[in-house]
C-alpha cells in the first residue's frame, strides 16, 4: 500500500480513547501544573482506577505513579499513550509503543502541519503509520479529551484543574479548538449543563470530527452533541455521521466559524457569485437536521435545554406580575411555541387562591400574594402541573432575593419538582446572580430572561417532534457521487480555450455535448464560421431560432449582444451573423432551435473542497444576479432531495402553478437537475465550475439551452 492509498484509508475507531485500562504519559512531570503533569493529576481527580505509567528518564516516580526512562522498560503492554514531548520525538517513540501493544494515542505536541513543510511531512508520516498499524490518534496539536462518564481523562486543559468534579451528564462537546472547547464547557457547566465527554480534535491527522460524531451516535452515555467547527476535512463523513445521529434521535448543535466565502474568487460564472463555502455547510446542516448556533452564548443555551431530557410540548406560564405574562405570551407566539389551554377544573381551583385582580387563564398571574404567603405557592404550582395540557411550567418570579425569601421559594420548588416528571423552569427576575445560582445548585432549572429558554426550546421541539423530508434518509452513495461517466464522451481538457478574462474555459459546444452525454435535454444545434455556412443552416433550421456567439469566448454573452432570439427567417439569421461579425468580431456562432416560452432556471455545479461539489439552483436567465433567488445543495443529489429543496425558491410558486396558473413540468426539472449534477460530478476533477443558464422549464419539459465550464 503506497502513501497515497494509506492517506485515503479509513480512519481508526476512537473507542479505545473512551474505554482503556492502561495509559502511559510520555514526558511525565511531577509538577501537576505542567503539560506533562496535568494529565496525571486529572486522571486521579476524576477517579480513574486503571494503570498509569510515566516516561521520563530523570525520575522513578511522578505524582506517585511509576516512571521509566524508556518505553522498553514498561512492565506491561499499554492501551493508550499521551504525548507531551517535542513533535520530532514521536517518529521514534510511536513505533516503540506499538511494540508494547499501543491501541490509541493523544498528541498534545505542536509542530506538525501548522508549522510548514517539515511539519507537514511529519504529519503525513503520522497519518500513514497510525492507519497502517491501527493506532487511533487524537491530534496532534490538541488539548485532548476527557470522558466524565467513564472517569478517563486524556487532557492537559487547566480548566479541569480548577472546577470541581460534577456528576456526568448526557451532553457531549466536540470541538476543533481546544481553547474554545474549555470555555464553552466552563460557561455551560456554571449554567447547569452536565457533560458525558469533551473532545478536541486539533490537526486531525487520523481521527477527525466526523469519526467522533459516528462514535457518539452509538454511545449510550450521550443523548445530545454540541460542537464547534472551523473547517471539516471530511464532508461526506460528516454527513454520514449527522444522518446517523438524526436516525437515533440525538440532536446535533454546532457553531460554525470561518464563514467568509473563500470560493468567491470564482466570479466569471453566476454560480460562483450565488454560492459560497458557508452555503454548502448550511445546506448540509439543513439536510441532516443540524441545529446551527450563531454565538457561543446561543450554543450554551442550546446545551442547557437539550440536556434537560425529555420535554413535553405546550407551555404553561405563571407569573407574579401580569406584564411578565404578556412578555412570555408574545415570545411564544413569535416563536411558534404552543401555550396550554388550561382546563376549567384547573382554572376553578386556581380561583380559590388567586386574588380577583389576578388571572387564572394561561398565562396565569398568581400575583405577589403567592409568595407573600409561601404556603399557597406549592398548591398553585401543583394545580398547574396536574393540568393535562401542561408540558412545561414556566414560572416567572419577581424579586424575593433575600436569603430567607429565596430559601423558602427554593425549598418549595425543589420539593414540587421532585414529585413530577414535567419540567419546571424558574425565571427569576430582579435578583442577583448569586440567588439564581443558589437555585441552580439546589437542582432547579433557573434563568433570568425566559427568551434564553424558549428560543432553544423551539428548536428542541422541532428536532424531536416534526419529521423533515429527510428524517429517514440514509447517507448512501448515489450515481452523482460514484458513477464513472458513460464511455465515449467528449474530451474535456482537450476542448479548453482561453477566455477573455484569462481563465481557461470549456466552451458551450463541448459543454452541451457533455450534457447530452448524461441525457440532459438540449436543443438541436448547428455551428457556423462563415456567412455561407449560416445561409446553409438557414435552409434547415425551424423558425423561430436563436443565434449565439461561440468565439471569441464571452462569459455573459447577453450583456454584449452575443445572443439574438426570435429570429424568424433566413434573412434575419444572416443579418444576425453580419452584426456579430462586425461588432463582436465573431469567428464562430451557434444556431439553435428556440425553446418555447417558459420559466428560466440556473443550475450550477461548483467544486467544493469539503463536500466534493455543491449544486446551485435558482432563478435563471439575465436576471440571475438581480433577484437573489438561489439555493445550495450538497451530494448525494437524489431526485427526492432536489424536489424537497425546490420549495425554498421564490420561483417555486410560479413553477407549481400558484394562483390558478398552469403548472410547469416540475418532474422534468428535477430529472434535468439530477442529470446536470451527474455531469458536473463526473467532470469535477477537471472543471471547477460548470453552469447551465438557463434551463427553460415549460409545461412538459426542462431543456438546458446554455452551458459553460471554468477551470
- 434 versus 554: the higher-pLDDT residue is 434
454 — pLDDT class (breaks 50, 70, 90): very high
Domain shared by 587 and 602, yes or no: no
- Residue 458 belongs to domain with CATH number: 3.40.50.261
386 has a pLDDT exceeding 90: yes
Most confident range, picked from 204-208, 351-355, 406-410, 469-473? 204-208
504 — pLDDT class (breaks 50, 70, 90): confident
Domain shared by 230 and 181, yes or no: yes
- 628 versus 677: the higher-pLDDT residue is 677
Mean pLDDT rounded to a whole number for the chain? 90
Q: What is the mean pLDDT of residues 444-454?
A: 95
Domain boundary among 594, 626, 645: 594
Q: How many residues does the chain have?
A: 711
310 — pLDDT class (breaks 50, 70, 90): confident
HEC-encoded secondary structure of 241-269 = HHHHHHHCCCCEEEEECCCCCHHHHCCCC
| Domain count for the chain | 4
Q: Which domain holds residue 643?
A: 474-521+598-711
CA atoms of 166 and 552, how far apart (whole Å): 70
Lowest mean pLDDT among 148-152, 283-287, 434-438, 577-581: 434-438
281 has a pLDDT exceeding 80: yes
Domain shared by 413 and 552, yes or no: no
A 10 A CB-CB count for 586 gives 22
Domain shared by 670 and 537, yes or no: no
The answer to the question of residue 368 being in a domain is yes
Question: Percentage of residues in the chain with pLDDT exceeding 70?
Answer: 92
Q: What is the mean pLDDT of residues 538-544?
A: 94
64 has a pLDDT exceeding 70: yes
271 — pLDDT class (breaks 50, 70, 90): very low
Q: What is the mean pLDDT of residues 241-253?
A: 95
Domain shared by 612 and 655, yes or no: yes
480 has a pLDDT exceeding 70: no
A 10 A CB-CB count for 88 gives 12
pTM for the predicted model, two decimal places: 0.88
16 — pLDDT class (breaks 50, 70, 90): very high
pLDDT per position as a tens digit, 387-409 = 999 999 999 999 887 888 889 99
Q: What is the DSSP string of 591-634?
A: EEEPPPS-EEEEEEEEEETTTEEEEEEEE-GGGHHHH--EEEE-
Domain boundary among 532, 559, 594: 594
A 10 A CB-CB count for 487 gives 6
pLDDT per position as a tens digit, 656-674 = 888 778 889 999 999 999 9
Amino acid at each position: 500500500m503506497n502513501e497515497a492509498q494509506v492517506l485515503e484509508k479509513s480512519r481508526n475507531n476512537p473507542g479505545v480513547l473512551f474505554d482503556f485500562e492502561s495509559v502511559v504519559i510520555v514526558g511525565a512531570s511531577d509538577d501537576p501544573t505542567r503539560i506533562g503533569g496535568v494529565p496525571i493529576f486529572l486522571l486521579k481527580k476524576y477517579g480513574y482506577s486503571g494503570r498509569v505509567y510515566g516516561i521520563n528518564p530523570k525520575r522513578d516516580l511522578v505524582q506517585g505513579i511509576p516512571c521509566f526512562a524508556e518505553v522498553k522498560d514498561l512492565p506491561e503492554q499499554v492501551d493508550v499513550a499521551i504525548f507531551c514531548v517535542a513533535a520530532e520525538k514521536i517518529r521514534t517513540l510511536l513505533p516503540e509503543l506499538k511494540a508494547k501493544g499501543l491501541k490509541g494515542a493523544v498528541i498534545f505536541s505542536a509542530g506538525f502541519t501548522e508549522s510548514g513543510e517539515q511539519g507537514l511531512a511529519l504529519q503525513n508520516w503520522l497519518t500513514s503509520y497510525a492507519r497502517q498499524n491501527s493506532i487511533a490518534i487524537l491530534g496532534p496539536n490538541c488539548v485532548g479529551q476527557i470522558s466524565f462518564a467513564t472517569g478517563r481523562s486524556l487532557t492537559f486543559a487547566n480548566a479541569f484543574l480548577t472546577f470541581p468534579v460534577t456528576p456526568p451528564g448526557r451532553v457531549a462537546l466536540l470541538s476543533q479548538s481546544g481553547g474554545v472547547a474549555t470555555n464553552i464547557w466552563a460557561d455551560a457547566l456554571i449554567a447547569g449543563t452536565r457533560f458525558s465527554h469533551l473532545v478536541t480534535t486539533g490537526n486531525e491527522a487520523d481521527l477527525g470530527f466526523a469519526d467522533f460524531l459516528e462514535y457518539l451516535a452509538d454511545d449510550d452515555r450521550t443523548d445530545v452533541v454540541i460542537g464547534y467547527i472551523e473547517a471539516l476535512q471530511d464532508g461526506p463523513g460528516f454527513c454520514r455521521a449527522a444522518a446517523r445521529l438524526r436516525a437515533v434521535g440525538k440532536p446535533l448543535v454546532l457553531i460554525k466559524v470561518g464563514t467568509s466565502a473563500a470560493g468567491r474568487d470564482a466570479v466569471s460564472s453566476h454560480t460562483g457569485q450565488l454560492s459560497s463555502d458557508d452555503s454548502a455547510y448550511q445546506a448540509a446542516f439543513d439536510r441532516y437536521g443540524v441545529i446551527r448556533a450563531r454565538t457561543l452564548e446561543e450554543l450554551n443555551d442550546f446545551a442547557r435545554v437539550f440536556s434537560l431530557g425529555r420535554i413535553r410540548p405546550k407551555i404553561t406560564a405563571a407569573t407574579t406580575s401580569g406584564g411578565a405574562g404578556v412578555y412570555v405570551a408574545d415570545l411564544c407566539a413569535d416563536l411558534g411555541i404552543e401555550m396550554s389551554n388550561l382546563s376549567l377544573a384547573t382554572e376553578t381551583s386556581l380561583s380559590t387562591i388567586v386574588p380577583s385582580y389576578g388571572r387564572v387563564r394561561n398565562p396565569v398571574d398568581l400575583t405577589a400574594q403567592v409568595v407573600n404567603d409561601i404556603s399557597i405557592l406549592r398548591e398553585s404550582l401543583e394545580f398547574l402541573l396536574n393540568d393535562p395540557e401542561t408540558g412545561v411550567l414556566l414560572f416567572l418570579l419577581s424579586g424575593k432575593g433575600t436569603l430567607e425569601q429565596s430559601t423558602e421559594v427554593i425549598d418549595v420548588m425543589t420539593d414540587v419538582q421532585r414529585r413530577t416528571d414535567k419540567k419546571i423552569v424558574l425565571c427569576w427576575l430582579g435578583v442577583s446572580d448569586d440567588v439564581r445560582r443558589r437555585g441552580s445548585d439546589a437542582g432547579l432549572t433557573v434563568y433570568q430572561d425566559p427568551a434564553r429558554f424558549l428560543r432553544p426550546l423551539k428548536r428542541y421541539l422541532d428536532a424531536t417532534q416534526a419529521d423533515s423530508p429527510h428524517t429517514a434518509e440514509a447517507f448512501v452513495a448515489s450515481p452523482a457521487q460514484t458513477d464513472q461517466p458513460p464511455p465515449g464522451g467528449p474530451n474535456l481538457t482537450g476542448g479548453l480555450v482561453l477566455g477573455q478574462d484569462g481563465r481557461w474555459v470549456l466552451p458551450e459546444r463541448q459543454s452541451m455535448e457533455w450534457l447530452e452525454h448524461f441525457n440532459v435535454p438540449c436543443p438541436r444545434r448547428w455551428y457556423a464560421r462563415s456567412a455561407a455556412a449560416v445561409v446553409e443552416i438557414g435552409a434547415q433550421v425551424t423558425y423561430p431560432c436563436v443565434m449565439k456567439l461561440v468565439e471569441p469566448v464571452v462569459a455573459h454573452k447577453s450583456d454584449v449582444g452575443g445572443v439574438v432570439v426570435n429570429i424568424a427567417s433566413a434573412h434575419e439569421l444572416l443579418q444576425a451573423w453580419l452584426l456579430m461579425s462586425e461588432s463582436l468580431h465573431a469567428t464562430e456562432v451557434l444556431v439553435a432551435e428556440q425553446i418555447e416560452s417558459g420559466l428560466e432556471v440556473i443550475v450550477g455545479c461548483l467544486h467544493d473542497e469539503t463536500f466534493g461539489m455543491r449544486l446551485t439552483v435558482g432563478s435563471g436567465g439575465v436576471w440571475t444576479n438581480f433577484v437573489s433567488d438561489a439555493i445550495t445543495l450538497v451530494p448525494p443529489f437524489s431526485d427526492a432531495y432536489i424536489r424537497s429543496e425546490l420549495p425554498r425558491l421564490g420561483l417555486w410558486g410560479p413553477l407549481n402553478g400558484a394562483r390558478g396558473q398552469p403548472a410547469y413540468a416540475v418532474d422534468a426539472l428535477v430529472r434535468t437537475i439530477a442529470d446536470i449534477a451527474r455531469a458536473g460530478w463526473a467532470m469535477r476533477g477537471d472543471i471547477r465550475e460548470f453552469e447551465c443558464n438557463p434551463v427553460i422549464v415549460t409545461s412538459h419539459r426542462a431543456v438546458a439551452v446554455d452551458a459553460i465550464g471554468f477551470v
